[in-house]
């Protein structure tokens, strides 16, 4: 058996088991209104992907996630640099990080709805969710840098080379692991915020309407789209990072 075939079987076998369990539960329940079967969900998925509204909704949600995630990552890293380097910033801003981290997503979305355009609420919520995760990890990574190596690099290397060859290699692993996790949280935050904000186009908006009109097969299909898109984007991010590491080496 070839290596590719073994890898494919290893990936598909668990999925097949879960689909079988899903089918058995659907048959046991006996109502597509309560639990649609895999076949009904796939048919709904085909209808969604065959419509312009479906692709617009997916595209709008993807743009919001990428925007909110990017803003959150950049902001989190910048705040981490400030709080790691300046004690006054750590004293002033650390309570803010705790506040952001402990406040429910729903609260942020509802507060933002008062003054922010509905389409931008999910972007802001995603950024708010990502910021404390990147902030804390990056700050800890910076504070955990090897002091001896830092002092030696100051003697022999320029500030740019210190950053490239000393700081980034030590910090990168921890930060990327958190960034990968944060991407999953960004997906959840955006879809949740879309359900509350109800922008014109968006996966969350469509899920809300399907729940409202009891279109549960479509609701399951949208959930499947979210899972697939999340996995694909995360894998793409991991591959891009690996290529960057190879180029750096």
At residue 35, the pLDDT reads: 87
> Does 105 have pLDDT greater than 70?
yes
Q: In the 8-state DSSP scheme, what is residue 165?
A: I
Among the listed ranges 73-77, 102-106, 143-147, which one has the minimum average pLDDT value? 143-147
User: Do 19 and 38 meet the contact criterion of CB atoms below 8 Å apart?
Assistant: yes
The pTM assigned to this predicted structure is 0.83
> Does 173 have pLDDT greater than 80?
no
User: Do 139 and 80 meet the contact criterion of CB atoms below 8 Å apart?
Assistant: yes
At residue 55, the pLDDT reads: 94
Pairwise CA distance, residues 112 & 120, whole Å: 9
CA dihedral 165, 167, 169, 172 (to 10 degrees): -150
What burial class does residue 172 get, using C-beta atoms within 10 Å of its C-beta: 0-12 exposed, 13-18 middle, 19+ buried? middle
What burial class does residue 243 get, using C-beta atoms within 10 Å of its C-beta: 0-12 exposed, 13-18 middle, 19+ buried? exposed
Number of neighbours of residue 10 by Cβ within 10 angstroms: 9
> Does 213 have pLDDT greater than 80?
yes
Can you read off the two tokens belonging to residue 212? 């409202």
Domains, the chain, with CATH or none? 60-199+232-248 (1.10.3720.10)
At residue 74, the pLDDT reads: 93
Average pLDDT over residues 55-76: 94
What percent of the chain stands above pLDDT 70?
83
At residue 3, the pLDDT reads: 66
Can you read off the two tokens belonging to residue 43? 């048919």
Q: Which residue has the higher pLDDT, 77 or 249?
A: 77
What burial class does residue 223 get, using C-beta atoms within 10 Å of its C-beta: 0-12 exposed, 13-18 middle, 19+ buried? middle
């Amino acid at each position: 058996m070839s290596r590719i075939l073994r890898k494919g079987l290893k990936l598909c076998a668990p999925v097949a088991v879960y689909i079988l369990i899903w089918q058995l539960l659907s048959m046991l329940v006996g109502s597509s209104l309560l639990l649609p079967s895999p076949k009904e969900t796939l048919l709904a998925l085909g209808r969604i992907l065959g419509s312009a509204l479906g692709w617009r909704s997916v595209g709008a949600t993807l743009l919001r996630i990428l925007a909110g995630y990017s803003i959150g990552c950049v902001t989190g890293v910048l705040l981490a640099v400030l709080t790691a380097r300046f004690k006054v910033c750590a004293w002033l801003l650390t309570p803010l990080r705790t506040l952001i981290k402990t406040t429910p997503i729903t609260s942020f979305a509802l507060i933002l709805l008062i003054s922010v355009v509905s389409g931008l609420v999910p972007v802001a919520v995603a950024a708010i969710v990502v910021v404390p995760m990147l902030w804390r990890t990056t700050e800890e990574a910076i504070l955990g840098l090897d002091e001896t190596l830092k002092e030696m690099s100051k003697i022999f290397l320029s500030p740019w080379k210190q950053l490239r060859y000393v700081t980034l290699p030590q910090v990168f692993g921890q930060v990327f692991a958190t960034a990968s996790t944060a991407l999953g949280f960004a997906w959840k935050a955006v879809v949740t915020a879309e359900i509350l904000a109800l922008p014109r186009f968006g996966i969350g908006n469509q899920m809300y309407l399907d729940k409202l009109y009891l279109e549960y097969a479509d609701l399951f299909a949208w959930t499947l789209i979210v899972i697939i898109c999340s996995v694909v984007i995360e894998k793409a991010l991991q591959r891009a990072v690996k290529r960057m590491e190879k180029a750096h080496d």
